[in-house]
Amino acid sequence: MAASSVLLKRSLWASLGILFSRLTGIFRIQVINALFGNTIELSAFYFAYRIPNVLRELFADGALASAFTQTLVDVEIQDNQKSNKDNQYREILGTIFWFFSVFSLLLAFILERTSFLWMGLGTSQNFQDQGGLGLAQSLFAWVVYYLPCSTISAIGMAYLSQKGKSFWPMVGTAIFNVSMMLFVIFSHNSIADLGYAVTFAGIIQTIFLLYPLFSQQGFLIVRIKHLHYVLKIAYGMFPRIVNQGSLLISLFINSFFATSLSPTALGEIQSAQTLIQLPISLVGVAIGFVSLPLLSRHKDEPKVFEKMLNQGISLGSLLGILSVGGISFCIVPLCVVLFSYGKFRIEDSQAIARMAIAYIPAIFLSIQAKILTQSYFSLNQTKFLMLTSFLFLGLNTLLNFIFLPILGIWSLGFSNSAAQLFEVLILRHFLTKKYPFPTKIAKFVPYFLLAMTFYGLSFFIFNLSLTWNYNEAFKYLLAMAFLGFFIIGGLLKWVIPRFRL
Res. 55: pLDDT tops 50: yes
Per-residue pLDDT reduced to its tens digit, 101-115: 898 899 999 999 999
Res. 273: pLDDT tops 70: yes
- Residue (of 357, 6, 28) closest to 184 by Cα position: 28
Per-residue pLDDT reduced to its tens digit, 112-151: 999 988 888 878 888 888 888 999 999 999 999 998 998 8
Rounded CA-CA distance 275/281 in Å is 10
Neighbours of 346 (CB within 10 A): 15
Distances (CA, A) of 168 to 21, 177, 282, 367: 11, 15, 15, 21
Looking at residue 321, its pLDDT comes to 92
Are residues 8 and 311 in contact, defined by beta-carbon separation less than 8 angstroms? yes
Region 446-475: mean pLDDT is 92
- The three-state secondary structure class of 30 is helix
Rounded CA-CA distance 55/100 in Å is 14
Rounded CA-CA distance 362/366 in Å is 6
Res. 1: pLDDT tops 60: no
Confidence band for 364, pLDDT divided at 50, 70 and 90: very high
Looking at residue 500, its pLDDT comes to 47
Q: What is the mean pLDDT of the chain?
A: 82
Of the listed ranges 35-39, 197-201, 390-394, the one predicted with least confidence: 390-394
Distances (CA, A) of 12 to 7, 283, 371, 423: 9, 9, 15, 26
Rounded CA-CA distance 5/70 in Å is 21
For residues 335 and 255, the model is more confident at 335
Per-residue pLDDT reduced to its tens digit, 473-499: 999 999 998 888 887 777 666 665 555
User: Residue 45 class from Cβ within 10 Å (0-12 exposed, 13-18 middle, 19+ buried)?
Assistant: buried
As a whole-number percent, the residues of the chain with pLDDT over 90 amount to 28
As a whole-number percent, the residues of the chain with pLDDT over 70 amount to 85
Per-residue pLDDT reduced to its tens digit, 277-302: 888 887 887 777 777 777 877 777 88
Q: Which residues lie below 8 Å from residue 55, measured CB to CB, with a gap of 6+?
A: 147, 150, 244, 248
Neighbours of 380 (CB within 10 A): 15
Rounded CA-CA distance 285/277 in Å is 10
Region 222-249: mean pLDDT is 72
Region 56-76: mean pLDDT is 64
Report field, pTM of the whole predicted structure over 0.85: no
Are residues 190 and 143 in contact, defined by beta-carbon separation less than 8 angstroms? no
Distances (CA, A) of 71 to 64, 74, 161: 10, 5, 12
Region 460-477: mean pLDDT is 92
Res. 427: pLDDT tops 70: yes
Per-residue pLDDT reduced to its tens digit, 376-403: 878 777 777 777 877 887 888 888 888 8
Rounded CA-CA distance 286/45 in Å is 28
Distances (CA, A) of 495 to 16, 279, 324, 467, 487: 19, 19, 18, 37, 11
